[in-house]
Structure 1
Amino acid sequence: MTTSFLLIVQIILVVILVIAVLLQKSSSIGLGAYSGSNESVFGAKGPNSFLAKATFLIGFLFVSNTIALGYMYSASAQSSVVDNMVESTNVEAPSSPTPASQADTSPEAPAVK
């Protein structure tokens, strides 16, 4: 239950982080052109400092959530997939070889002339 909630939060954080990075101005205008008219809303410096702080905060939340998800998944998974496959197939070890005292019933090699 908790891991599924954190996984949903992770997906939401990824989408928000991608949008925040794409809205920042770069050397080529990119999607930052759409935020040009809103510069007065964010203050005299424009959206650059606001978007930089927001991107840092979202990135920090993303990394924290990733660490929490990794810890929860590793704590819940005590056995590997290979262990589960071996247990489900119930593979038995091969039987021990027959003792040398028993007669060998294999055919003999043909004689070379």
Structure 2
Amino acid sequence: MPDIDPQSTFRGLPLTAEQDAEVRHYIKKKKQHGEPWDTPELAAMLEDMLEPPSEDDEELDATAEEMKAAAERAAASIDEDMEPIEASEERNAAMEAEVMKGPKL
């Protein structure tokens, strides 16, 4: 695979090989359908590719990890021999208790 540098990518943008291929594929499909390719959709796609992830995304990932851990702790507190309805109620109660405890620091 040849090295991709900004001079060989779409409009000289600092895109990865995968991103450049995605842009070129988008343009090819638009041309095949006889549609204009330089669209606001393409501009938004390029903006997403060039904009680094925000800190908000990291906070969401941390919240998701906390919720996953709380769900695992709640599931661990359920006895496998319980009836399904009882187990579901116990799991919901355990999940509520984990949420009320707040985030683990």
TM normalised by structure 2 equals: 0.29
Query: Taking CA–CA contacts closer than 8 Å with sequence separation of 6 or more, which of the two structures ends up with the larger relative contact order?
Result: 1
Query: TM-score with structure 1 length normalisation?
Result: 0.28
Higher Rg: 1
